[in-house]
A and B are shown apart, each in its own frame.
Chain A
Amino acid sequence: MNNLDAIRRQALLNWDTLAQPKDTPVIYLGSASCGRAAGALNVYEAIQETLDEYQLKARVIQVGCIGPCYLEPLMDITLPGSPRVSYANVTPEKARKIVVSSLVNGDILPKLAAGHFGSEEFTAKTGIPRFFDLPMLKPQVRVILKNCGLIDPEDIDHYLAQGGYTGFQKALQADPQSVICELKVSGLRGRGGAGFPAYKKWELCLAAAAEMKYVVCNADEGDPGAFMNRALIESDPHAVLEGMLIGGYTTGASQGIIYVRAEYPLAVARLKKAIQQMHAYGLLGEDIQGSGFNFDIQIREGAGAFVCGEETALIASLEGERGMPRPRPPYPADHGLNGFPTLINNTETFGTVPSILRNGGKWFQQFGIPGNTGTKTFSLVGKVRNTGLIEVPLGMTLKQIVFDIGGGTQRPFKAIQTGGPLGGCLSASQMDTAITYESMRDQGSIMGSGGLIVMDESTCIVDMARYFIGFAEKESCGNCTPCRIGTRILMDTLEKIVRGEGEARDLDTMRRTAMTMTQASLCGLGQAASNPTSSGMRYFLAEFEAHIHDKYCQAAVCTDLFEYKILAEKCSGCGLCVSVCSVNAIEGERKKIHHLDGSRCIKCHSCVKVCARHAIIGIPNSTRAAEWDFCEVLS
């Protein structure tokens, strides 16, 4: 223990020189996958070039994701004597300008700054808001994301300086039962989606007697568009690893495995580094910190199957078998990997454990509401203004999240998809729902791993249902009848509807299929795959009926079910749509109302995107109406 404390003391000292530099400024760059996708690596090059060119001395640190991905690339600068100031949407040119201005001229360009990490006084002095007071961040409670975007994920000392591994040290001094007690008091529920009380799983695994046990971290985040786990691992990998270490110690396991999807190479690289550093500090290996506890963590990569995020399928995959879910019981806590008791939890669950151990279970309870304590990360994406990774206490309403944190939608709000591809779609009238495991389920959706996809009136719910069921159809393992065939039936029916061949009985067919899938499937994928379709039919029945009976897609997405028309009252004759149309379907002189020929239009949406007046709308498809009337006469 002693040497870890000593290391931490030194780390704290080093951190202080970073947070309050004496003479060398520090430049931070958001360099998780979101930042990189926005161009952070180009910005990094620009920073380095600028420093070289002007012969400036500065420490450049790549950090993880701080949350508001719509602001990436984010670059922060701490000048000696000043707090850390953050600049958003930084391009290489902008970076150059800011670096030169700050480091050479001492002018931090307050007008360009997005926020700072100092005190109210600094705000008063410069007019720059505090970063965490920004509308997107203010309502958030950052427990799991505490270090994300602020520390260098590839430096264990930074983690130690923030109190990292104190949770583990506390666990080592207590006994396994007290650790489990803390978890119980905290009320932490599995963050992978099912919401099973975490302490129960740990308790079962501890109670199982065997010659060895495993701890497995499920980092196979397969939901399309979800990146909570990715961001956590890329920004603060030690939080997850410390959680696994605590889990291993508490349950008596000796081998940890973190199963990461192969599509996360940066996360894998950072994990490898972090594990190496743990070994160097004696936090992995034999007789850790003199406690007699042996533990090691290995990384195993997935191979591109969503179904391997299901815990028993994941275990099958680790065993070298086909990733097919297995019936439970027996539960992994009793009989898991290679037949041994296995504690398998989601990345975020493990990521939360260290802070619970560090601050106590009661501390965690203060967030959230009884039965749904603590905080959860969500990825807020879609048609909302402020997209990114957020962390809020459970029990916050959808309305608060979308409108307060997300800044609302530009076009009228239509729906929100929660929980990923196996979650349901809720409408505006459900926006006062507080996000809890139970309420989501009651509304016909799930909490899932925390994806929140916001949709506006330009989204077609039927098309959205079709997209998600197509996903489930391809990702189903194919083992059990209801899921394998049910997803196909739903897909065939939705495609039929979207092609304009919908029939009245299709709604009942889908309802019946959905019920069979939910009741009779072997695993969670089959049980939940029909959620987008079912909730779509529940809350947006009129839209489905319009598709089926009227052959009309009001959102103008289903190409067979609408044609474009230019509203005379809105058209300003600017000619932009004429110039972008690749098939010359629009004609019209300047300052004169334009006309669109539906029979030539290929529905590429280019004109819609370019029209500032929203003058192009979708109307029922008259070209195909005759054909459908004919079919109706025949049938």
Chain B
Amino acid sequence: MDFSYTEEQLLIQKTAREFALDHLAPCVINRDEKAEFPAEQIKMMGELGFMGMMIPEKWGGAEIDTIGYCIALEEINAVDASAGVIMSVNNSLVCQLLYTYANDNQKEKYLKKLASGEWLGAFSLSEPQSGSDASNMLAVAKKDNDHYIINGTKNWVSSGISCDAVIVFVMTEKGIGHKGISAFIVEKGTPGFSHGKKENKLGIRGSDTCELYFEECKVSAENLIGEEGNGFKIALGTLDGGRIGIATQALGIARAALDRSIEYANERKQFGKTISSFGAIQDKIATMATNVDASRLLIHRAAKLKDEGKPYKKEAAMAKVFASQTAMQNATDCVQIFGGYGYMQEYGVERLMRDAKITQIYEGTSEIQQLIIARTLLGNK
């Protein structure tokens, strides 16, 4: 077991860190306030290879392993968790799904553009009445010769407005639960496909989250990914990888909270001493740092298992539940260490607290992660 980064991993980290500080940090508070999508920055990230990191070069990607991806994703999220989720969704959900389940024609047509950053992708599973219980979805696709007609409403779609194509899960057969779910890729601009307004969110405000509407939307049967009825399996398989991504997002936020706390505690003076000399602050910093390291180790273990082609469902769930808990705790403690200043927008740490919360909710809530861990251990379905 080797805990040190390779030369390449160090260079990936340096590149991601420098990019984030140069191009994401300067207006991050402004984008958060205005809920502005970091379009220009995402384009640059695509050119550098950040949007399809784990995809082979042949399909437009950078062909890096999952640990290398996590190293870069942590750096982006430590500066801007909105850009971080856009990157995570495109990499771990969209590109990974197409790479694993799409046929070569679909890869040629879509994966190349999505992995190279020419296009941005979205992943659409949730509906207003079906979140954790995906098999309760109402959106349908009806076969019509060599086409499908999609009808329904999806929600909470990250990058739903800015994306060029979306992978959408709908029922192709009703009454058989999740076995009737199928996955399609639908291009922006397809007649009958539209999006709702940008949701006004607590955190990750730079990412554009919206509803998607499908009204008699006709897509070619060539856009069906895998077989009819395989959608649920595809979604769950992809979400395992997605959890590594969101766990890493949480890690980035948690680390930022730690870094900012250390910096501030060493500067801020009260009673004639820096507050870092007080036991109460030291105790917080020590716990924050330990949990950041534990999160990273859990994440990298899951990533390594994934790279080795071994099962990693339980490990990814553990990483996500722990890292997201750490993000929330560290961000809250960071604001506490900053005191009144932490509560003010201009210090940029209240944003960490708002951004952290979503990591306990999306791509499987913490409660669902606990369920996955327990079921794997207890052997029940």
Do A and B come from the same complex?
no
